[in-house]
A and B are shown apart, each in its own frame.
Chain A
Amino acid sequence: MKFGVVVFPGSNCDADCYNVIKDVLGQEAEYIWHKETSVLGYDALILPGGFSYGDYLRTGAIARFSPVMPAVIDFANQGGLLIGICNGFQILLEAGLLPGAMLRNRSLKFICDGVNLKVKRNDTAFSKLLQPSEIIRVPIAHGEGNYFCDEATLAELQRENRILFTYCNANGDEDMAFNPNGSVANIAGIINKQGNVLGMMPHPERCSEQILGGTDGYKIFASMLESFQEVGRK
């Protein structure tokens, strides 16, 4: 399986993602510079974390108009697996591939910490190797991860089961007290209607090897591989 890691000026988690795909997952990985206009030949794309364009104007707002983005949007619309992590999630929101927007963290602080996430469903391409209601531990590192959407959008996300990860405590309680940034409904990650696009603020690429303190993040990338191989077997 061939993964493309899109690199914007200011991306800084691109090498981490590349490393996980190539050396941990054992699959093909290539960087895609944001000036490219084609993503032909890739089976999955990763929009990595970082501070694309210095977060100028709004996080992700300028990256969303990078030359590579029309090809990324086409790829997603044709059902290609696309994961946006942290700044990548912010870019997906700006691009309209996922609904909502990011606000400054409620505390106004940049938060770099480990958090518990509740897996809301395991019948998606990104979570099939996780257990339903499993609590996974994944690091966050962001100043603007306070997910916002209007009530109608939230109701739609809930009705369509599109909230994949929520912030919780070690017992899985999704209380506001365990919400690090103020996100509505403790949302940490959502998928699109078709289920092939995931945006999440926490960083699975930072917990995909035991030496980094945990391997819960690995299961997300491994799920993508598993679902790609399943399609191939059919």
Chain B
Amino acid sequence: MFKANIYVTLKEGVLDPQGSAVRKSLHVLNYQAVNEVRIGKFIEVWLNAADADTARIELQEMSDKLLANPVIENYRVEMVEA
């Protein structure tokens, strides 16, 4: 079995109202040094596959189809030993 960490992040230029609300809140907590906050998703997937390459290809397919929306998001698949 393999494990992957998938990081889904908003593309550059896509507004992140959530991130900007968190940034403002950090300023209220006196972390004035914070310039920007952007919030994404961290997805852990465990799967069976013949080898790591096959697993990676499948994970990329899954990300393209469902886990990320290519209109607004980028993703990165990181294989982790399982």
* Chain A residues packing against B (C-beta within 8 Å): 57-58, 61-62, 65, 93-94, 99-101, 103-108, 146, 148-150, 182
Contacts and interface: CB of A to CB of B under 8 A. Distances in A.
B37 to A, nearest CB: 13
11 contacts: A61-B66, A61-B69, A94-B69, A99-B71, A101-B71, A101-B72, A103-B15, A106-B17, A108-B18, A146-B15, A148-B71
Contacts of B14: 103, 148
A104 B69 contact: no
Interface of B: 14-18, 21, 66-67, 69, 71-72
A109 to B, nearest CB: 10
Contacts of A146: 15, 17
Contacts, number: 38
A62 B65 CA distance: 10
A122 B2 CA distance: 55
Nearest to B13: A150
Contacts of B18: 104, 108
Contacts of A103: 14-17, 72
Contacts of B72: 101, 103, 148
A108 to B, nearest CB: 5
Contacts of B67: 57
Given A149-B71, A150-B71, 20 more contacts: A57-B66, A61-B66, A61-B69, A65-B66, A101-B71, A101-B72, A103-B14, A103-B17, A103-B72, A104-B18, A105-B17, A106-B17, A108-B17, A108-B21, A146-B15, A146-B17, A148-B14, A148-B15, A148-B72, A182-B17
A118 B18 CA distance: 29
Contacts of B17: 103-108, 146, 182
A103 B17 CA distance: 8
A100 to B, nearest CB: 6
A99 B69 CA distance: 12
